[in-house]
Chain A
Amino acid sequence: MTRPELHETLTAMIAALDPPATAPGLRITEAHLDAPLELTLAQGEDGLTAYAAPPSTRFVTGFQNPVHRMQLNTGETRVAFGQGGESS
């Protein structure tokens, strides 16, 4: 299976912070994620590209890429767009 690009993995992680529709009273204002990541660099269509995904297994094997550690800080921010949808 092709590993996704780093931005796809990070966007999915941050998007997962949205509270579920079944909990309308829950709001997450900031988050700190400390997570393992398998990262490789390879020549893609746009030059050197970083591909990353959470490790496929928790076990250390001799044939899978080593796992790196990442920390990500994200916070809620209001964007000055005129049209709005539902508020978060």
Chain B
Amino acid sequence: MADLVFWVLSGVAVASGVAVFSVDSMARATYALAASFVAVGLALLLFDLQFLGVITVLMMIMEMAIMAIYMIMFMGMNPALMPMSMVHDKRWAMAAAAGTFVVLAAGAVLVPWPDRAGDPADDLTAAVGEAIMGDKMLVMLTVSPVLFATIVAALVLALPSGRYARLGDHLGRRTAPARDPEGAGR
């Protein structure tokens, strides 16, 4: 049963990965990529990593739902509302993709995988976290809020309708005309 689920999910992941480059619509390409990631996330459930599997599905769908907006907004001359090709520079792209696949697949197949020593931990999610992060856990926990604060700060500074653009150097002023009035003032 687990074998069957694995092969079906792998098939879906690879097929929708191929679809990303062979469809002619930005919306289809984005959601094909989402489907590919979801299949990989569900495959994680086969390792009994329930939390990681479900959270991968959550993150990938959320990310692709937002990504679709940007892809359609910025890709191509005709903001991706018309059919368009998903590949550029076909020959080199093909070579790079095939080369990467061969290297990664060869690694997975040729590496001498160790036999299991000891029993799996009770809480596999915590064990994976420890194994990957180890003594860097504190650093990672600190870095993520700093990164997030940086993103928010950059947005606040860059936003055309934000207060820095509207008030200039006079942040002490209480009011200034809104560039893009909201609601009743519109």
Does A associate with B in a complex? no
